[in-house]
Structure 1
Amino acid sequence: MAVTFIHGTEISDPSFAVTATRLLKRAFTRHVGIDADDALVIRPAHWAPALQEIEDRLHERSFGPPSRSLFRLLDSWSTRLNAGRADAIWPFLVTIGWRRLPWVSRPNYAVLRWAVTHFVGDAIAYQITRGDRSLYDEVHGYVARTLHELADESGNDAPLCVVAHSLGTVVASNYFYDLQVQYANGGRNLVAPSVMDCMRQTPLERGETLALLYTLGCPLGLWTMSLPDFGTPLTMPAPKLHKHHPGMHHEWTNFQDPDDPIAYPLRPLSDAYQQQVTGDREVSVAPWWAGWTPVAHWWYWNDPHVITPIARSLARVWREANGITGGP
Structure 2
Amino acid sequence: MSAKIGIGIIHGMGTQNKNFAHTLINDLKSYYGEKNDTKDLYFRSIYWADILEKSENALWKNLKMEKLSFDKLRHFVVHYLADTIAYQKMYEEKKAESKNDRTVYFRVQERISDALKDIQENTEPGAPLILIGHSLGTVMLLNYIHDSQKSPANKKTIYWNGKTETGNLAGLFLCGSPFALWTLRKEGFGKAINFPGEKIKGNLKTISKWVNFYDKDDVLGFPIKNINSSYKRNKQLIDIPVEVDNPVLGWTPLSHDDYFTTISIIKSISGYLQSVRNVIR
Counting only pairs closer than 5 Å after superposition, residues 300-315 of structure 1 correspond to structure 2 as 300-315=259-274
Contact 2:15–2:53 (8 Å) recurs in 1? no
Q: Which runs of 5+ in 1 are unaligned?
A: 65-104, 200-204, 323-328
Q: What number of residue pairs does the alignment pair up?
A: 268
Aligned to 2:80: 119
Measured against aligned partners, the alpha-carbon deviations of 1:82-139 in whole angstroms (never above 9, x if no partner) come to xxxxxxxxxxxxxxxxxxxxxxx53443322221012211011000427535211001
Are 2:241 and 1:237 aligned? no
Question: Quick one: distance in 2 between partners of 1:206 and 1:284?
Answer: 34
Contact 1:3–1:41 (8 Å) recurs in 2? yes
Aligned to 2:278: 319
Q: Which runs of 5+ in 2 are unaligned?
A: 97-101
> Alpha-carbon deviation of 1:190?
6.1
> Alpha-carbon deviation of 1:223?
1.5
Measured against aligned partners, the alpha-carbon deviations of 1:123-161 in whole angstroms (never above 9, x if no partner) come to 110004275352110011111111111111113421000
Identity of aligned residues (%): 28
> Alpha-carbon deviation of 1:274?
1.2
- The one of 167, 173, 179 aligned to 1:220: 179
> Alpha-carbon deviation of 1:242?
2.1
Counting only pairs closer than 5 Å after superposition, residues 1-328 of structure 1 correspond to structure 2 as 1-30=5-34, 33-36=35-38, 38-63=39-64, 105-129=66-90, 131-132=95-96, 134-181=103-150, 184=151, 187-189=153-155, 192-193=158-159, 196-197=161-162, 199=163, 205-242=164-201, 247=205, 249-276=207-234, 278-322=237-281
Structure 2-normalised TM-score? Answer: 0.88
Of 155-164 and 126-135, deviating more is 126-135
**Structure with greater strand share of residues:** 2
Residues 39/11 of structure 1: CA separation in 2 closer, same or farther (3 Å cut): farther
Higher Cα radius of gyration: 1
Aligned to 2:99: none
Aligned to 1:68: none
* Coordinate RMSD, CA, aligned: 2.1
> Alpha-carbon deviation of 1:42?
0.5
Structure 1-normalised TM-score? Answer: 0.76
> Alpha-carbon deviation of 1:11?
3.6
